[in-house]
A and B are shown apart, each in its own frame.
Chain A
């Protein structure tokens, strides 16, 4: 017998269900609200773990597919599935979804609405990762905007309203054009359909591909954010509350890069190949620019925000290398960035909760009153820099490997970004954690407690685990990445691309081994 609701749908909608349950709990019962929100978020996480268990590692195709007819006259289905590209992103979302609720434990301001938006946001994000119908994807893509808008606008800092509006307008300006492109694409198919897997096989003339790719790419590039579309990001990050920043950096931005990989590149391969030099150039500019700007920031949150611009530049570079290492590295780096930047924002939030300031100058010598936090901070900083043995290294290494084959000149530029990254992160770390404990306010700071340790430990564990043993991750990503590359090759009849990735598929069999040893 067909179960009423599939496993994957359950993961998608458990948070939303939790949000609706919250509506029934009286506003004053803060603790009950928090506990039930955490319960639903954890259930979603546990359920996504069972999906990990059921996932066939050797398969590149969509798994756990569910399809229900939605608007039959327009060929729109509720159609979801998961593959190596989305699997870990979904897991990251559910993990952080639970963690941020735990991190918001001390919130007292309008807790009910806050948790409601957090949970609906989670549903939107998971939905966008698993949607295989373009219409459905667009619906989830836009649904995410609204709760994030409220979270920044209600619980944010002093310039929250400006930041929230900027966030929505920037994102929408891209996505509305994408909507037109989606409709256009669907009507170009002989049978009107929004089914992504069928649209993959549609071959469009080069001219049309360019237009459609531009619309999709603009929408995703704003979300990533690719230089020069990044200006909304620092505002949104600085104004958002801690949990909002974590979700924004760790997951929302990944939807942009994921969008490139899932939609823009395989749907319009020739246009994507044509855009390769431009996007690689923008990515590398973003890497260096983000790092340089991060270096001069005095606000911790702003520094982390600009470091995101830099890191996401790496991801874009990897994606547009159009080879296995590049894309695998990009996918890996998406997870790494989610974990390390998520943890950075959490740690900054913990410091802010105690000191109510985020200015680097206000700190110094924090290792003395807060040794535990400093230790965690150190590991996360190293992960963000890409220290060998931690996760960041694997991702950056693979990306640079792929990029050197595709565009050696730009890859060299990106490599300097790694050095710059080490400079600004370590310099920041030195100014905050080491040095003399000169300020009296900092002397009696409480170290992190049990709850905060519980928040950070799983992230730290993953950071180390992914650094020393990337194989279980890469082996699940590889078949799907291969499939994407095949699609691009099959449709993009450019000799160069085919020849290049042929070599790379051979070469790639060696690299993961090399990494494992």
Chain B
């Protein structure tokens, strides 16, 4: 039994921070709870530092069930960053809604641990453990704002559907175990290679069930029905976290399990996934057009973005992998930023999430208006912003691997998405009479979070070379 614990260092550090937060919470008075955010942020920063120094290592722990490679580290940094921005943007939100700080921060940190494990897992059981750690924490976070009926409803829905999806996932794992005799991905992949022409039918069934479980988690069509209700009901800061973090973690699974280890049997799963990618894009975009709430629109658009990301999964190979990782990286700042702006619009009891509430914001709060415009334009895929660069590489990966149809459909879907993203801008700049957003003085950290997201969105668009090579290197490190 090897006792190499290095691969777990960042995850362990974040867990420790979560426990510290819970402990310190007991000794703080109600008005001092803001301190917890800083403990969390410190912990996240430390973990990010660790991950930074571990970059380039290639190790395994616990009989190769947890791997430390650049792929895992790339996602670790991404999750830590997402948690960082989420916590920064919710400091004011917590005070306003009365959500309890101790649990809130601890749960964000714990779900981050789950995500990190998912990205590092080389064993289906560990992957499942990570997924559950993440999911359960997020279920609770969704319902944290207890006074709101929608939040409880969303949490319940999310929990039930999540449990349902977990069932698929576990059944799939069981079948795969039955067929290959292992839950270790490397060994599964090895035995798949051995029996390339004579796979038992129930192995393929297992792969399909696993695929369905993961499709639930990313909200791909036809398993997307929970997304809008859950996203809308959850506290806004958590919606951003879900939309980016949970999705990225599930796509880490897609990349490591399907694109890499199951690539031997990709003729089995690519055909249905190809269709799912197309349908997910179209359904997400079409439904997003008809929404009247910006938050709900972002939920549907998040489904559409799942569709774009699936292009990378279907394309496969290094091109698809690098493009997938880069898109997840690019998707993070623009989405977190958009939700942070929604948080800024919230005013006491009122959520102010409809399009009409956005009317005139661009003139009342120039910075918020500009930032939101940039996020919307980036999500819609206008150059030179992160979303465009991300889509560009996804489409390129589709074309080089022979899926030109996906690139064309993706491009046409971007056109659909322009309709509803620009509507936000129309409201902000071309109409009057909405609500006033929080000024900088009352929520400085929220503005800081928006600024970070803004710089990320513009930076990844204008100077993507470094991030691109990082995504490539990370994907190639899979073994």
Contact = CB atoms under 8 A, between A and B. Distances in A.
Contact of A143 (B383, B393, B407): B383
A165 interface: yes
B422 A168 contact: yes
Given A73-B472, A150-B429, A179-B411, A172 B418 contact: yes
B129 interface: no
B297 to A, nearest CB: 16
A390 B363 CA distance: 46
Interface in A287-342: none
A135 B422 CA distance: 23
Nearest to B412: A176
A198 B113 CA distance: 49
B400 A165 contact: no
Residues of A in contact with B, size category: 20 to 34
A25 interface: no
Contacts of A70: 465
Interface string A126-141: 0000000001001100
B430 A180 contact: no
A74 B384 CA distance: 16
B386 interface: no
Contacts of B383: 138-139, 142-143
Contacts of A173: 412, 415
A66 B353 CA distance: 47
Contacts of B363: 110
B282 to A, nearest CB: 15
Contacts of B468: 71, 73-74
Contact of A180 (B411, B425, B464, B472): B411
A453 interface: no
B404 interface: yes
A153 B430 contact: yes
B415 A176 contact: yes
Interface of B: 363, 377, 382-384, 388, 392-393, 395-396, 399-400, 404, 407-408, 411-412, 414-415, 418-419, 422, 425-426, 429-430, 464-465, 468-469, 472
A183 B399 contact: yes
A149 interface: yes
B422 A71 contact: no
Contact of A154 (B388, B411, B414, B430): B430
A108 B47 CA distance: 53
Nearest to B413: A176
A173 B418 CA distance: 10
Interface in A176-197: 176-177, 179-180, 183-184, 186-187
B399 A165 contact: no
A72 B399 CA distance: 19
A145 B382 contact: yes
A180 B465 contact: no
List the 9 shortest-distance A-B pairs measured between CB atoms, nearest first: A176-B411, A139-B383, A71-B465, A153-B430, A180-B407, A183-B396, A142-B383, A139-B384, A180-B411
A43 interface: no
Nearest to A110: B363
A20 interface: no
A273 to B, nearest CB: 24
A186 B396 CA distance: 9
Q: Which residue among A70, A138, A149, A165 has the maximum number of chain B CB atoms within 10 Å of its CB?
A: A149
Given A172-B418, A183-B392, A146 B430 contact: no
A161 interface: yes
Contacts of B472: 73
A173 B425 CA distance: 19
B414 A176 contact: yes
B3 to A, nearest CB: 39
24 contacts: A70-B465, A71-B464, A73-B468, A74-B396, A139-B384, A139-B388, A142-B383, A142-B388, A143-B384, A153-B429, A153-B430, A164-B426, A164-B430, A172-B415, A173-B412, A176-B412, A176-B414, A176-B415, A177-B408, A179-B411, A180-B395, A180-B411, A184-B404, A187-B396
